[in-house]
Amino acid sequence: MAIHKCIIIGSGPSGYAAAIYAARANMSPILFTGPQPGGQLTTTTEVDNYPGYPTGISGPDMMEELRAQAERFGTEVRWELISKVDFKTGEKFHKVWTESGEELHAHTIIISTGASAKYLGLSSEERLMNNGVSACAVCDGFFYKGKEVAVVGGGDTAAEEATYLAKLCPKVHLIVRRDELRASQIMQKRVFNTPNIEVHWNTETEEVLGNEKVSGIRVKNKVTGESKELPVEAFFVAIGHKPNTDIFQGFLDMDETGYLLTVPGTTKTNIPGVFASGDAADKVYRQAITAAGTGCMAALDAERYMVEEEIG
Ligand SMILES: Cc1cc2nc3c(=O)[nH]c(=O)nc-3n(C[C@H](O)[C@H](O)[C@H](O)COP(=O)(O)OP(=O)(O)OC[C@H]3O[C@@H](n4cnc5c(N)ncnc54)[C@H](O)[C@@H]3O)c2cc1C
């Protein structure tokens, strides 16, 4: 069976950036697009913060351009997902299986499988997605500068999103299901010391209101049973992300939520020849540019690994 030089799992910004660098380094990468070709950005209308697009670009268009750039240098893009892997220390190659059962071998594997934002599951939330509903304040907060907004969640992410938005918006409602925050003490302190954040304790979101775009939310206090409407123009869901790393369980080191662990300052995992990039290994920044940056690092790490191991 052929041993490929490089297999890339995932087609978000990190996967395509890795592909561009690996292809230009003559590693003939095969990239698997997975269940969401183009990754998370294909679910958003406007990307305004990726350098190189002074007037912004739609998420799907940007990902088409990245794919075309990767293909230009000879990346083989396969519209399939990887359902099983076998990585072992000490082996000169690693194994992956496609969903249709094909087995492939490669000296290096770059994992760029991303993460998925968690949502509340309300139909109104889904209907108004990208029209006021967002899971990323850093991405979309600027669109609501000067407006009243809400954030739902009680952990560090929610506290961070609320304090970030409080610098742009006159009023931020923080909707918390319990009577306390799960966020770290330092983040709690920041929330409580920010005068334009109003915390709504013991409160659940019943409905996101609006036809074409968000015009408010209806929330209910679980203790008093009282419902009320908050006149917000954006609703930021900050209840966590799930990294798409289930198939690597048992092979790769990960934290308690499934984020892949890498040697600091590199994309190296605990298995030589296997590298991790993008949101699958990053619970801190979660941006397209950081994903693309670590995708580049993964391809360079993979290329250097091949040289050090005197492969190919
Ligand atoms: C609605 C929304 C708007 C956003 N807006 C912005 C923005 O304006 N600016 C910004 O910088 N960031 C934005 N982000 C964040 C940005 O999209 C992510 O940080 C970035 O896409 C992460 O890239 P990635 O390559 O790590 O993974 P992802 O984009 O998550 O892609 C993961 C890829 O892995 C594939 N995959 C998963 N499992 C498998 C498998 N088993 N086999 C094969 N393939 C697999 C998927 O199909 C997908 O192609 C936004 C996110 C969302 C959800």
- 143 alpha-carbon distance from chain centroid: 20
Residue 312 near residue 5 (C-beta atoms within 8 A): yes
pLDDT over 90 percentage in the chain? 96
Say yes or no to pLDDT of 156 above 80: yes
Q: Which residues line ligand 1 (CB under 6 A)?
A: 9-15, 32-37, 39-41, 43-44, 47, 49-50, 81-82, 112-115, 117, 135-136, 139, 244, 247, 278-280, 286-289, 291
Residue 259 near residue 280 (C-beta atoms within 8 A): yes
Considering the candidates 6, 140, 169, 296, report the single residue annotated as catalytic. Answer: 140
Provide the phi-psi class of 307: left if phi over 0, else alpha when psi is between -120 and 50, else beta: alpha
Distances (CA, A) of 299 to 16, 41, 105, 110: 10, 21, 17, 7
Mean pLDDT over 91-111 rounds to 96
Distance 220 CA to ligand 1 centre (A): 33
Residue 77 near residue 70 (C-beta atoms within 8 A): yes
* Strands 171-175, 148-152: pairing kind: parallel
What is the rounded CA–CA span in Å between residue 5 and residue 108?
6
Q: What share of the chain is helix, strand, coil (3-state, %, to 5)?
A: 30, 25, 45
Three-state secondary structure call for residue 14: helix
What is the rounded CA–CA span in Å between residue 168 and residue 159?
15
Summarised one tens digit per residue, pLDDT across range 230-263 is: 999 999 999 999 999 999 999 999 999 999 999 9
Q: Which of 16, 32, 40 to mutate to test the pocket of ligand 1 (most atoms within 8 A of CB)?
A: 40
Question: Domains, the chain, ranges and CATH?
Answer: 3-116+241-308 (3.50.50.60), 119-237 (3.50.50.60)
Query: Whose Cα sits closest to atom 41 in ligand 1?
Result: 82
Distance 114 CA to ligand 1 centre (A): 5
Summarised one tens digit per residue, pLDDT across range 108-130 is: 999 999 999 999 999 999 999 99
Say yes or no to pLDDT of 312 above 90: no
Global pTM reads: 0.92
Tokens of 167: 């610098």
Supply the pLDDT for residue 44: 87
